[in-house]
Amino acid sequence: MSVADQMIQAGSGPTPSREIDALLTIMVALRDPVAGCPWDLEQSFETIAPYTIEEAYEVADAIVRGDLDDLRDELGDLLLQVVFHARLAEEQGAFDFGGVVEAITAKLIRRHPHVFGTARDLTADQVRAQWDQIKASERADHAARRGRGDEDPSVLDGIPIGAPALARADELARKAASVGFVWTETGDVLAKVDEELGEVRVALASGIRAEVEDEIGDLLFTVANLARHVGIDPESSLQAANRKFERRFRFVEHALGEDGRTPAASSLEEMDRLWDAAKAAERAR
């Protein structure tokens, strides 16, 4: 009898105290070599990783939309990703879901000595500095365990390579700023933005694609620095700009659709006029 059949015979469903166990049991059933799901059986850490990232973004999207019903569902989808990775690791004899929970529990206690230890009455800035110190110590221990203890440590260590480029630029600049590598005046950052924009113009005039790509990257990195300097999260700011663009372009599509037309069949001048109308409608609200 398969694990899934055993679950069906057990009754109508899990009790609240056994919900995690039920989810783990379902994952075992999905990966059962005989009676499991063919798609789930084909998966690996590498093939599941993109879904993990996608689910994290869908959690963030539900939060932005303020949809708590969707947030509950999306958090469940994200939890499934954790369970899936843990099951793959357990099949290889590396670790299991219990190990994941144990690791994060120990980490939270270790990183919060002001809650669980003797450090008390710290300010938010002191907590952040203490957090960074603890993480740096953890990274050094981790590098030593992996035989990389001879590598020069950097304040930039620990920033995931796979993080979104804009968010990673923000974190790189923040960590560099923590040791004094930072502009002190907003005007200095703006001057750097102007400088980088000028270099983009020069690269465009050269017609050399590699130079254009390099200079646009520098410009984007500097703009991310500007956002951080004035206390704005660049990722959130760009997400807001994306939503605004989508909202206004949908307005253009809807207005053209009322006349039985599409953007592809319209002129740029006409779409610009409708775009301005969308902006005016937003300002009037």
Distance CA 212, CA 205 (A): 9
Residue 223: Cβ within 10 Å count:
20
Chain segment 112-139, per-residue pLDDT in tens: 888 888 877 888 888 888 888 888 788 7
What is the per-residue pLDDT for 16? 47
Q: b or e along 61-77 (b: 16 or more beta carbons within 10 Å of the residue's beta carbon)?
A: ebeeeeeeeebeebeee
Single out the residue of 27, 159, 8 nearest to residue 80, CA to CA: 27
Chain segment 23-39, per-residue pLDDT in tens: 999 999 999 999 999 99
- What mean pLDDT comes out for the span 268-276? 94
- What mean pLDDT comes out for the span 275-280? 94
Chain segment 161-206, per-residue pLDDT in tens: 878 888 899 889 988 888 888 888 999 999 999 999 999 999 999 9
What is the per-residue pLDDT for 10? 53
Task: Specify the residue for token string 């059933």.
Answer: 29
Distance CA 151, CA 140 (A): 10
Amino acid letter, 98: G
Chain segment 55-110, per-residue pLDDT in tens: 998 998 899 889 999 999 999 999 999 999 999 999 999 999 999 999 999 999 98
What is the per-residue pLDDT for 28? 97
| Residues 234/238/244/250 CA torsion (nearest 10 deg) | -170
Q: What domains can be seen in the chain, in order of their start residue?
A: 3-116 (1.10.287.1080), 154-232 (1.10.287.1080), 236-284 (no CATH)
- Quickly state the pLDDT bin for 8 (edges 50, 70, 90): very low
Question: Does the pTM of the predicted model rise above 0.75?
Answer: no
Distance CA 59, CA 56 (A): 5
